[in-house]
Structures are given as structure tokens and as C-alpha cells.
Structure 1
């Protein structure tokens, strides 16, 4: 995989809770310099990042229900609405993990559907936290995501229960087939990590270590 191909797959992220406005500025300057297509920042910084990046045609994404997923649907919907108003063009929402584990699948599906509705065609990815789920739960979650009309299933936030694994990405791709995308995130830090995830079936990579990844000497 050449550098440009890899860059085109990466969502460059800065979701550290202690990130300052200065950190966001440096982060956005890096995104411009290296040519990333999409970045993710916490909701508070979306409008600021959008002002810096929109002249360079770089999308700003927003996490929804981050990083536990337990917010009620109305809160996630309002978060999405405000994010879009502030310039967000992609959304990565966290599934209601507790509802999934309780067998409340209608709740989980509706949660996703309502955010997808607000997104109104903007790319919506749904994080399932694979490290916290059984294989059966991963399968059910992916099926619910497809039924709800989202665009991607995403492995992890990287904040809870471990990150992406090759086995999980392979499983998600097996279930998703070619109907939706698979985003590998959480612990994807090196060029080798990224290549392995793509080979396993990922077509989007989320990483805060993207610059290290693309500066690898393997090209």
C-alpha cells in the first residue's frame, strides 16, 4: 500500500480530553500538511477545526455519545444536530452497549436510526466496542447497524476494553459483506497495523498516530 492510498483511508483523530485549542491548531496544521481527508475532534472544537480546515477541503468529524454510549437517544440526536450546525460532516456514534447486552435490540436499532436520520446523508459510523462484546453480540450489533441504515461499523473508541484486532475486523467484514464499510480503530498505530487491518477487510482506519504511520519507511 503506497502512502497516498493509506492517507485516503485514515481518519486522523485528536480526542484526548486534555487537548487545548493550541493542540487543535497544531493538529489541524498537520492534517493540512499531510493531506488527510477527514479529522475527528471533540464536539467543543468542531467549529474551530472546521474554520481552519474547510478552505483545504478537509472534513471534520464528530464523536456522538462518546465514549461510553449510554446517553439517551435524544441527547445523541441533539449532539449530532449541534455538530452538523458547527460544521461536522461525518459522525462516529457509540452504540448503546448496555441495551445491546440487555437484549434490547429495538432500542439499539432506534438509537442508530435517529442519528442516521439527523445525518441526512452524511457518513455515519457506529462504534460497537468489540473488546466488550461476545462474538454473538458483535454479529447482532453489525446486523442492527446495517438495518438502521448507517454507513460503517467501527471496532472501538480505543478508550474502553481494548482496540481493533485482525480477527474482529475479519468477522465484521464477513457479516457486513459489501453492504457497509468497516472502520478499524483503537490501537492502530503503525504502518504494519494499518496494512493488516486493510487486508482483514477494513476500508477506513481511525488513528491518533497517523503521522507516524504514514512516515514509515516501508513505501
Structure 2
């Protein structure tokens, strides 16, 4: 069960990362809008969960968003599509194809390249689109450069081929895309991984005494557990 041991700090190639695991069957959700508009913060999500007697075990930002906090690409919550899939190339990291979709439901977790998702759309109870893909079937995104000097705090998610778990990662220092992608492949042994964002990346982990502050967020992903 997601809980006190869900998040941990590890070092890969001299850089520090926080990693959080969720297994198939655990209560992982996406959060975007409440009755008064976008949640925007971990605290607002926790307040909403109080009505269920539940709380966040951990959470992080889960994809890029517009100024009004609406998702840039596909967003599905509890089986309802709230924003459409985008498959065209475009500016910024989101449009650096291939990008992808993090999708999950009763069959487990998947990170799927966006055009493959369009052509053979799976059933997702929850889904968020972002980009670029970091790993695709074990291969690094071809445009990630090992000597890039574009350094940011970054976060994303990776999955194994069997979809049994999802591993969320956030760097605790500025790193480039290539190192971040290799974390998922070489350190965690995962087959597919998706970038969520950089510079605004934030984590909530009460077990680690951590609740990062910053500007309001759009999509948030979090593992939910009973409160108390």
C-alpha cells in the first residue's frame, strides 16, 4: 500500500532524486478541478479528500498546463475526457515528438506514445498527456543530448513493460533530460517513461516531511490512502 515507505531519496550518477512507487490496484488519481475551480495545490486536494476520510500519501504535478491551469493535452479523470489528445508537433517540450500519455485503470499502468495512443486507443480510467517521452520501449528519446547544458529540476513517471507499477521521480537538483531519462532506464530498469515538467516541478510527501511550494498547478497526480 502507498504510505510511509512510498517515497525515498536515491542517488544516480551523483545526482539526488526522490522516487515514489505505486503498484497496480492502489488508489492513484488525477486531480484538476473542484467545486470552486482548479485545485491548484496539494493542500486543496487534501481538503477535498477529507470528505472521504482520506488523504494524499504523495503527489506531484502531472503534466503541462495553460495559464488558466487547464491541461495542454489529453486529460481523463474517472473515465471522463476533459481535454483532447494532441498529436501534432509544436513548440516547447510538450511538442518535442514523440510525446506520450500516462494511462491507467484496472489493467495497470502504461506510458504510450501519443500517435500510437490515437491509433489504438486503450481504455483509461485516468490519463494525462505530456512530453517529451523519455523512454520508448527502452530507447531514449532521440533528441536528448548527453552533454546538454539545459539544467532544471525535472519530474516524470516510468513504468515496466508489464504495467505492474508506476515510479514517479523528481530531481532534487538541476539535471538535463538525458540524465533524467537514464535514471528510469539504467537505475530503475523501466521500459517507458514520460516527462511531466521542469522548473515548476513539485512534490508532496508527508513521510519525507516535504510539501513544495510554488505557483498554482494544473493537473496533479496523487496516491490516496485512508486518513489517520
The answer to whether TM tops 0.5 is no
Where relative contact order (Cα < 8 A, 6+ residues apart) is larger, the structure is 2
Which has the larger share of helix? 1
